[in-house]
Amino acid sequence: MPYRQCPVSERHDSVSAQLSLTVAWWLSLQLGFPLTNKTLRFGDLRLRNARYKTDERPVDETCSCTTCQGFSRAYLHHLDRCGEMLGPMLTSIHNLHYYLNLMKEARDALDVGDFAGFAKRFKDDRARGVH
């Protein structure tokens, strides 16, 4: 398959990549949680734990991503324990969906001038275990 060069408007050059990292870093400081590779890949749910072996609930019941709509914690636990490549792929889909929604909510809060309220709701939800 030949390589298709993206137009300049679609490219992720070093400036836009640096800007994205800077925004993510700033947001993580404002909200009080680190955005690390481990957080992005695995999140707070440790699906390798045996307690998820028979848990038929989705990763997040409030999430509309493909992973949460079609796969259970038990299945993701099974994929992780067997070393199947589908496990990290489904986890990444969920995590990317989560962080895209989080960034949208942050932008919306900034647009209406209520970032402090957004940050408080986010911290309160995380303290209650809501992601």
Give pLDDT, residue 96: 81
**Mean pLDDT, to the nearest integer, of 59-77?**
90
Give pLDDT, residue 93: 85
Is residue 9 predicted with pLDDT exceeding 90?
Answer: no
Average pLDDT, the chain: 75
Band (101; pLDDT cuts 50, 70, 90): confident
Is residue 19 predicted with pLDDT exceeding 80?
Answer: no
Burial 49-82 (b: 16+ CB within 10 A, else e): eeebeebeebbbeebebebbeebbbebbbebbee
Is residue 69 predicted with pLDDT exceeding 90?
Answer: yes
Distance CA 125, CA 107 (A): 18
